[in-house]
Structure formats: structure tokens, C-alpha cells
Copies of this chain bind each other. A is one copy, B any other.
Amino acid sequence: MIAIKSIHISEMEKHYRISLINSLIGYKSLNLLGTISQDGVTNLSLISSAFHLGADPPLLGMVIRPEREHNDTLKNIQSTGQYTLNNVLPQWYKQAHQTSASYPSGVSEFDSCGFKKYYLSGFKAPFVFQSTVRVGLELVEIIDIERNGTTILIGEIVQILTDDFLIEEDGNLNHLKAGTMTVSGLDSYFLPQFVGRLAYAKPGKEPQELNKVNP
């Protein structure tokens, strides 16, 4: 076993540190973030920093790092107040990865990387047609993190576009059936296999498997 301390982390070669720190927390949510500018230019970027913030109201958070996601994304969200999160499937995960390339401002990653836009009436931001789980959000709050210049965006879920059969009786969305992928670190892509679903935990009671669901 090795113990790596602050002093070792700060002395690491830059790319080694980025790879290590990015991979520490395990598997991450993987989504394509869709936006549109006031002029109608669309933007699509891959993010792995979305997190659940609450169900009532339905809120999600995510991190925008200016140097990676380009300023277009943040500018578009600020000007339209809307964005979409769309899951990533194995059939086209390489194209999804390709959206992280540094395309010039004004070039849409939808077109460059082979994604079809899908619009809902009354909602400006584009969804990814090829995805099976798509969420439309309205910006609620922008939090600037002074410590490292990143931005945390908080959005309210106002649209959910998915297939009926993916939502189970109790509301749980079945990501196995949806074909959703996950990512570890910067660039390692995975498809999860189901292990078990467990009942609500209570003190003094053995953990119980729920048999009703997956896969």
C-alpha cells in the first residue's frame, strides 16, 4: 500500500496529476451537454461532473471548467438560461468523446461529430436525438469557485425525454435497458453490469435485495 500526501501531489508532473486526481472518486456520470447561442449556433460537450442535488424541486449541479468546455457553453447557458443533458451509448461513444476536442467557437460539435439535434417546442436548447435519456434544464444559480476559477451551475429539471419502458413502476430509470455508459478518469469508458438492488436500510435489519427489477 502507498500513502500519497499533499506534498507528493503538488510535485507530480502535470498530466500525471490530472489523470490521478480525475480518477480518484471512481465511476462518474457521463452526459453530453447541449446548448445554443443567441445567434442559433449549437454547442455540444462531454461532461462527467453532473451531480444530483435534490428531487423537490428537481435540481442538478455540474461543474464548468473554462479551459476544457470552452466558454461557449457557459456563455450560451447564461444568455438562454437553458441546457440539456443526454446519456451516452456504446454505439457512438467515440463520437461523444470527440466533442471534447477543441473546435473553434462557431463550429457546432453536433455537426462535426455526427449528432442529430432534437428540439421541443417552447424549449431553446437542443437535445441529442441518438440518446435514450434526455433532460432539459433551466439555470437556477451560478456559483463561482474562487479557489480554482471553476463554476458550479445549478439547474432545475423542466423536461425529461425518454422511452416509457425505461421508467420502472416506482420511478427508477433503468440505465441497463437505456444502454447508458459511465466514465472513469479522463478517458476510460465502461458499461455497468447489474449486481443488486437493495431495500431502504433500517437499523438492526439485514440488508434486503429487491427482486422486482433489473435487468
Chain A residues in the interface with B (C-beta under 8 A): 1-6, 9-10, 12, 14-31, 48-63, 65, 85, 87, 90, 93-95, 97-104, 107, 112, 120, 133, 135, 140-141, 143, 145, 147-148, 150, 152, 154, 156-164, 167-168, 170-173, 175-176, 180-182, 184-203, 205, 207, 210, 213-214
Contact = CB atoms under 8 A, between A and B. Distances in A.
B60 A53 contact: no
Contacts of A200: 187
Contacts of A56: 14, 17-18, 148
B150 A152 contact: no
A135 B24 CA distance: 8
A138 to B, nearest CB: 9
27 contacts: A1-B161, A1-B162, A1-B163, A15-B170, A15-B171, A18-B171, A19-B172, A21-B54, A21-B55, A26-B30, A26-B31, A26-B180, A28-B52, A48-B52, A53-B145, A93-B196, A97-B201, A101-B203, A102-B203, A141-B145, A141-B147, A184-B192, A187-B200, A188-B214, A189-B198, A190-B193, A190-B194
The quantity of this chain's copies bound in the complex is: 2
A59 B184 contact: no
A214 B2 CA distance: 21
Contacts of A24: 52, 60, 85, 133, 135, 157, 160, 173
**A-B pairs with the 5 shortest C-beta distances?**
A19-B171, A190-B192, A16-B171, A101-B201, A94-B207
A129 to B, nearest CB: 11
A15 B197 CA distance: 16
Contacts of A16: 170-171
B54 A65 contact: yes
B85 A9 contact: no
B58 A171 contact: no
